[in-house]
């Protein structure tokens, strides 16, 4: 199984992205439980899950920053207007 591509992640909607992040976090928890009980057979799944989580969280943060940057000019204009008074 190859590692997932960023293009696949970028096509997700905001809610689906959040759902996938929770899903991968649960998967990592289950993998840790399997490791602790010595039931884990495929240790490479940790690498895949961590990689996927990093991709999802990166896209989520990029979207947050772009939303913040679109709101920033309004805030700057308001603070400049307050300073002039």
pTM over 0.85: no
Q: What is the pLDDT of residue 53?
A: 94
Q: What is the pLDDT of residue 70?
A: 80
Q: Are the CB atoms for 60 and 21 separated by under 8 Å?
A: yes
Please state the length of the chain. 85
Mean pLDDT of the chain: 83
Rounded Cα distance, 45 and 34, in Å: 11
- pLDDT tens digits for range 11-52: 888 899 999 999 999 999 999 999 999 998 888 899 999 999
| pLDDT value at 74 more than 60 | no
For 71, other C-beta atoms within 10 Å of its C-beta total: 9
Rounded Cα distance, 36 and 30, in Å: 10
Q: What is the pLDDT of residue 30?
A: 95
| pLDDT value at 75 more than 80 | no
Q: What is the pLDDT of residue 35?
A: 92
Q: Are the CB atoms for 9 and 41 separated by under 8 Å?
A: no
Selected from 1.10.8, 1.10.3470, 3.40.50, 1.10.287, the CATH number assigned to the domain covering 6-84 reads 1.10.287
């Amino acid at each position: 199984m190859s590692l997932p591509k960023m293009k696949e992640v970028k096509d997700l909607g905001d809610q689906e992205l959040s759902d996938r992040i929770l899903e991968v976090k649960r998967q990592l928890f289950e993998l840790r439980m399997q490791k602790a009980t010595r039931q884990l057979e495929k240790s490479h799944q940790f690498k895949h899950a961590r990689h996927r989580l990093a991709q999802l969280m990166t896209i989520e943060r990029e979207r947050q920053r772009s939303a913040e940057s679109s709101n920033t000019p309004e805030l700057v204009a308001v603070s400049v207007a307050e300073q002039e008074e």
